Structure 1
Amino acid sequence: MIYLFFVKHYSTVWIYCSFSTVCILEQNFDGIILICQSYEQLPDELECLKAPLQDYSAVDCCVGEEISLTKIRNVTLATKLNKIRNKTNALLFLLLCSLVFDFSACLYQCNLVIFLCHQPLEVREHKSSPHKVAVLGIWVKNQAQGEAVTELATALESGRLVYRDIGGSDPERMAAPRVAEYVQAVFKDSPVTVTVVSNLNTLEKEYPCLAAVNRCANTVPRHQARVIKLLYCGEGPIQQTLMVVGKGITYDTGGADIKAGGIMAGMHRDKCGSAAVAGFFQILAKLKPKHLKVVGAMAMVRNSVGSDCYVADELVVSRAGRRIRVGNTDAEGRMVMVDLLCEMKEQALKEVSPQLFTIATLTGHAIRAMGPHYSIIMDNGAAQRSGNALQWQKAGEVLGDLFEVSTIRREDYEFHKGKSEYEEILQSNNLPSSATPRGHQTPAAFLIMASGLDKHGVDSDKPLPYSHIDIAGSSGPFPGVPTGAPILAMATKYLEL
């Protein structure tokens, strides 16, 4: 159960100063946030809290069942934490978590509380105070524990902050050129190298499927596409190479297959796959893991509608040389990623122990199949043989970044085979994914086929492990704040948290 209690004055604690600098300070706190199973289990050091909690539980039957707030020493509180944050500037909170110290649980609880303190980018840019909470302290008995938790929690939250800035901001504030500027600023003077591709001729030559989606938006300079490439190389000999492509649709009108009936609202969130790529690189920049190389690509494109938009029935030849028939312009996410995935495939053949990924808010079917709150991961044969998807699922359990596992089947590949001699591959049928059987699995098969990864399966001389991750259900509610999925699971799995 989670109990939140607020009180003035407490002892020496570990502090987050503006979510970045860690130090030991004597601090007068505006409130205490207590996370535990039962206040009866409080240790001797917190004996002073037992009496107020017992008194409060006598008048509030919800204590022990849900989040509870109480008033101690005349601290005036609103009924909900978010109301307190919004009405009061520069609050100082002390977090009491994991009374019997468990590192993973403490890290999870820290990130949960910091997440509640998030201030959206547009708000930060128009208010004098960049944070809702000025200082967050963590109560621990051991200095080394405090240092380790604060370092990791700060790094993880910095990644989620980047994710939320890109993924949650409106389609003009985070139009593709401005995303590129933001990413360049974030990684200035860091171990991450950033390269931005903006030239239309280069986009058309190297990424023809992406260029087709960009064709309409390209007539508006502030909406023109960007491919943002990120590179991190850890110290020492490289033992593993991660290669990640993110879907970054800055706004999805549906294109010529326009989204109707009011379902276009919220489509600025269709860039959360690319936001996850940037967020993960921010964690890498903070923690600097050794022996790891990570290559990232953010496909930042607006799927606009107009006289120059790409349309169903068009034939587009992918970077891998596959003739693709467009079936539905609202299936643009797979189009903007497929050539970048092909480029990653080409590079992967030269890398040490490569693993390829695509991350996207790709299908409504993902939500229909698994419900909200869950990411879905699907392995190709080479990744499945190593148990990759199950490892991701296990890693996600550690910090509450939850996964369901799906399987790519033969009929998914059959679904995307060309239906006439004109095309080799059908991009999509003309139905929404949510109305299509296996609507979240078939796009993974398309990405494999259209990128040429089907030539690198388990029966090839050079098999390449690849996984597709659909975060349509887990990326966060709208209206609401993006969650940061799946970067906590990624960090847990590959950075050995």
Structure 2
Amino acid sequence: MPFPRAQAFDSNAHWSTLIEQYDAVIYLGPEGLLSQHPQLTETFATVAQIDQRVGKQVVLVHAAAAPGQRLVIAPTGPLERDYDDVRRYADAAEKAIRVACDAGSRRPALVVVKPDSLSQYQHAAQVAFLAACQALWQPLEARERLVEAEIEPVEFIGMQGVTEDEANWLNAVEEGRRLARDLCGTNPERMSAIRFAEYCVEAFKDVPVQVEVLGPEDNIQQTYPLLFSVARASMDVARHHPRVVRLHYKPEGTVKQTLLFAGKGVVYDTGGADLKTDGHMAGMSRDKGGAAAVAGFVKTVGRLAPKGLEVIAELGLVRNSIGADALVADEIIRCHAGVDVRIGNTDAEGRLVLADLLSHLREDALQREHVELFSIATLTGHAARAVGPYTALVSNGPAHAQGKATRLSAIGDNFGDPCEISRSRREDFAFVAPRSAADDVLSSNNAASAVTARGHQFPQAFLTIASGLDKHGINSQHPLAYTHIDIAGSGVQGGDWQHGKPSGAPVLCLAARYLLD
């Protein structure tokens, strides 16, 4: 899985020392700092006389002394307004790397100029590199169909002022994000549940992560009954059979903290018996973005092999098909946690998949100390409507009391992978309360989440009950911190689920939170 590697070089290096190794130099920063940069002042002033775009737009200019004689000047725009953040550098980096690549650069050097007085830009270089990699990524099917080196020609990106350790961390994070994009961004046949699992087995061969794959032959109908109910209509087609992938990274020595992840991997979502209409089925091959993100984060963990941190993940991989044996609304299914679930709408299938996974992970959590549980999913249109391009965090009582989402959100802001914080409240539990003595919880209402009040919050209440985590609240004998992460708004760029590039969110945010010393 080649991708442009970050390569550290001396922060005091002059252009003349970079000529043999690099073939372009890219400067990122606000206009004022770029125009005053010691190595850029004269060129900036000269070019600005004939090109009024300099300092306003990304421009490529000829510079005889620069590596490859290519100089890209990429202004970030203003940085000091209340609403500016480090994504200004990400935006500039994406534009700049495309210009450099189109001009023929294969080994650009990146110089990030940031204001020392503004702490929110301390990680601007890391954000710029990862944004450049996002811009350069091409879909897995394209790389398999065409010549990979031709459509992704950039070999590495030099990073000024970044240490070797920081470069290694960046490469591990990008490797995870790339895996997440590959898994999420593929069509439903190339990345069916079976092939998704196979891709994971191959992807984790070179890292210390144990991979276990379970299929129908492993009795998942009994051990993951809600998940299997979603997959029921796909069972007549062998290549569409469901899978559960379990990933386990266990460090050498003492475990000080354990993270447990459930990932929604609906490889195609027709809506089931509550069939999607009016063109809303297009893009539903990306409904596996949660499982993809979890796999990506675990890949980063395996590559960095941190001490003291254990990570366990379960990915639920199913196709929500329509057919004679399809799940229908009004069914009551007893889930892994022993809770009777009444189905409200078969297009609310992701929470069914996650509930069984979380119940299994709950059992893992009860055998360990210092644990945190997460579910990650492209779960609701309401999250995309409510918070736009941001990741939505919904915490249970213990996680809220411990400030888990607040910490994750603050770190996400600093690394350009931002989140919005939501709360789980009594109305959410009332919303999914049973309407009769025949069941214990209602999976959903029968309206679209985007037009339902608290449409991305109440599913967390369902997940809490259906997984058994409601027995581990803040006042229980064994509280368990649980945060639901909805990436319906952040999982692809521009909100275009059919054609937009998968973003890999929230791999970066999680890596910055748990994998940086």
Normalised to the residue count of structure 1, the TM-score between the two structures is 0.89
From 199, 202, 206, give the equivalent of 2:219.
202
C-alpha separation in 2, matches of 1:209 and 1:35: 49
User: Partner of 1:357 in structure 2?
Assistant: 374
8 Å CA contact 1:92, 1:133 repeated in 2: no
C-alpha separation in 1, matches of 2:358 and 2:131: 33
In the alignment, structure 1 residue 27 sits paired with structure 2 residue 20: yes
From 373, 383, 393, give the equivalent of 2:409.
393
Tell me the secondary structure at the aligned position of residue 254 of structure 2.
coil
C-alpha separation in 2, matches of 1:357 and 1:28: 43
C-alpha separation in 1, matches of 2:52 and 2:195: 50
User: Partner of 2:510 in structure 1?
Assistant: 490
What is the CA-CA distance between 1:115 and the residue it aligns to? 1.8
User: Partner of 1:6 in structure 2?
Assistant: none
What is the CA-CA distance between 1:66 and the residue it aligns to? 4.3
User: Partner of 1:115 in structure 2?
Assistant: 134
CA RMSD for the aligned pairs?
A: 2.5
C-alpha separation in 2, matches of 1:286 and 1:180: 19
C-alpha separation in 2, matches of 1:238 and 1:362: 31
Normalised to the residue count of structure 2, the TM-score between the two structures is 0.86
From 422, 425, 447, give the equivalent of 2:438.
422
C-alpha separation in 1, matches of 2:456 and 2:414: 25
In the alignment, structure 1 residue 152 sits paired with structure 2 residue 137: no
Note closer, same or farther for the CA distance 1:208–1:40 as it changes in structure 2 (3 Å cut): closer
User: Where do residues 16-415 of structure 1 align in structure 2 (5 Å cutoff)?
Assistant: 19-20=4-5, 22=7, 27=20, 29-38=22-31, 40-41=33-34, 46=39, 49-72=40-63, 91-98=106-113, 104-130=123-149, 132-140=152-160, 145-200=162-217, 202-371=219-388, 373-415=389-431
| Count of residues paired in the alignment | 474
Amino acid across the alignment from 2:4 = F
Q: For 1:189-237, what per-residue CA distance to the aligned partner results, in whole angstroms no more than 9, with x for missing partners?
A: 4210000001346111100000000001121111111100000012221
C-alpha separation in 1, matches of 2:441 and 2:435: 8
8 Å CA contact 1:474, 1:483 repeated in 2: yes
C-alpha separation in 1, matches of 2:272 and 2:114: 53
What is the CA-CA distance between 1:375 and the residue it aligns to? 0.3
C-alpha separation in 1, matches of 2:281 and 2:109: 41
Deviates more, 1:418-427 or 1:26-35: 26-35
8 Å CA contact 2:33, 2:114 repeated in 1: no
8 Å CA contact 1:86, 1:132 repeated in 2: no
Note closer, same or farther for the CA distance 1:209–1:32 as it changes in structure 2 (3 Å cut): same
Q: For 1:305-324, what per-residue CA distance to the aligned partner results, in whole angstroms no more than 9, with x for missing partners?
A: 11221111111111111111
Amino acid across the alignment from 2:20 = Q
What is the CA-CA distance between 1:340 and the residue it aligns to? 0.9
Amino acid across the alignment from 1:457 = G
Tell me the secondary structure at the aligned position of residue 114 of structure 1.
helix
C-alpha separation in 1, matches of 2:31 and 2:473: 52
Q: For 1:217-273, what per-residue CA distance to the aligned partner results, in whole angstroms no more than 9, with x for missing partners?
A: 121111111100000012221111100001001011111111100111111111110
8 Å CA contact 2:24, 2:105 repeated in 1: no
C-alpha separation in 1, matches of 2:194 and 2:214: 10
Tell me the secondary structure at the aligned position of residue 287 of structure 2.
helix
Deviates more, 1:207-216 or 1:20-29: 20-29
User: Partner of 1:480 in structure 2?
Assistant: 500
C-alpha separation in 2, matches of 1:81 and 1:23: 19
Note closer, same or farther for the CA distance 1:268–1:117 as it changes in structure 2 (3 Å cut): same
Note closer, same or farther for the CA distance 1:331–1:290 as it changes in structure 2 (3 Å cut): same
Note closer, same or farther for the CA distance 1:70–1:304 as it changes in structure 2 (3 Å cut): farther
C-alpha separation in 2, matches of 1:290 and 1:363: 35
C-alpha separation in 2, matches of 1:437 and 1:339: 25
What is the CA-CA distance between 1:357 and the residue it aligns to? 0.6
Note closer, same or farther for the CA distance 1:52–1:89 as it changes in structure 2 (3 Å cut): closer
8 Å CA contact 2:7, 2:164 repeated in 1: yes
Tell me the secondary structure at the aligned position of residue 330 of structure 1.
coil
Percent identity over paired residues: 40
Deviates more, 1:54-63 or 1:432-441: 54-63
C-alpha separation in 2, matches of 1:189 and 1:41: 42
Gaps of 5+ in 2: 10-17, 75-94
What is the CA-CA distance between 1:41 and the residue it aligns to? 4.5
Amino acid across the alignment from 1:136 = F
What is the CA-CA distance between 1:85 and the residue it aligns to? 7.5
What is the CA-CA distance between 1:90 and the residue it aligns to? 7.0
What is the CA-CA distance between 1:117 and the residue it aligns to? 1.5
Tell me the secondary structure at the aligned position of residue 163 of structure 2.
helix
Note closer, same or farther for the CA distance 1:85–1:99 as it changes in structure 2 (3 Å cut): closer
Gaps of 5+ in 1: 1-16
